[in-house]
Amino acid sequence: MIDPADVPLPPKDNLDGKPERQKVMHVMDAMDRADDDLIRKVRAIHYGMIKFIDDTLAIVFTKMESLGLMDNTIIVFTSDHGDSMGAHGLIQKHNGFYDSFTHVPFIVYAPGYEGPKRTAHMVELVDVMPTLLEMAGVPVPYGCQGRSLAPFLRSEQDYVPRDYVVMESGEEGEPLKLADMTGRPEHPFDERYFVWCAYREAWLGKGKSIRTRDWKLNIYANGEGELYDMKSDPHELTNLFGDPAYDPIVHGLERKLLLWSMAKEDRLPMNTTVTLNYEDKRKENERS
């Protein structure tokens, strides 16, 4: 469908200064044995798959319009993750936080649609549930960690977008090191190890990431880290973590991440054992 020769290549990333886990990903994707022609071919196939989705959805939406369903239907198009498709010397999804994995499509149609509008506001996938509930007139349950985007979709002026988003990945355990690898694929489509992200070992090593408009900080349980200047280095090629000149940036983001972690601690179940309420007592005293 798409000529690979017309497909642009992602910027080259030699992974210098990156956590070792990314070098393990690179080897287990066998991308050290891939050339530009293979990357172009893979990306061309990926673009073709996207066009197939577009064409199929067009058929669905045309049918919905003919049935008069578009006036009371909310449509959200998104994805659970991205794929590197050659960026950062990788080809699949992985236990990491590059935008190629985490910056997914998020397209919303709602009754009253006034034409396409693009926004740079940051959202998280946990925002989908409270958004749909509020748009449908259903109360958002206690303990929900997302934020409703309904005020923005209704063009309400008091909507305040997020200052940052947080991502989490990985499972308990020590991430695999290059020295631990006794077997590896011979090429990116070697079925003996394809796909690496399907193996449990690929996900060992917990991490959290916080991304603002200007910065992204990734912190891993084993002490590794990444800091990227998203304005001057949008492709996340130069890891600034560990450079003393950027310690104030790291510390500020770490504080935001700490406060986020406390705010998102599990609030369920609701405490119903304490019935005394100070506010009620205060109002009672005021009346007396």
pLDDT at 196 over 90: no
CA triple 275-277-281, angle to 5 deg: 130
pLDDT digits (tens, 9 = 90+) for 233-244: 999 999 999 999
> Rounded to whole angstroms, how far apart are CA atoms 145 and 127?
8
Closest CA to 110 of 142, 52, 71: 71
State CA 286 to chain mean position distance. Answer: 50
The DSSP code for 68 is T
pLDDT at 207 over 90: yes
Sequence letter at residue 25: M
Mean pLDDT across the chain: 93
Least confident of 186-190, 207-211, 237-241: 186-190
For the chain, where are the E strands, in sequence order?
Answer: 75-78, 106-109, 165-169, 207-211, 215-220, 225-229
Confidence category of residue 218, pLDDT binned at 50, 70, 90: very high
**SS3 assignment, position 85:** coil
Question: DSSP secondary structure string, 264-276?
Answer: TS--PSP--S---
Closest CA to 219 of 175, 253, 185: 253
Q: What is the pTM (predicted TM-score) of this model?
A: 0.90
Q: Are 14 and 88 in contact (CB under 8 A)?
A: no
Q: Which two tokens stand for residue 45?
A: 């196939």
Confidence category of residue 283, pLDDT binned at 50, 70, 90: confident
Q: Which domains does the chain have, with CATH numbers?
A: 4-122+161-287 (3.40.720.10), 123-160 (no CATH)
At residue 143, φ and ψ (nearest 5 deg) are 95, -5
> Rounded to whole angstroms, how far apart are CA atoms 91 and 82?
10
**SS3 assignment, position 204:** strand
pLDDT digits (tens, 9 = 90+) for 33-89: 999 999 999 999 999 999 999 999 999 999 999 999 998 999 999 999 998 999 999
- Which of 27-31, 147-151, 253-257 is most confident? 253-257
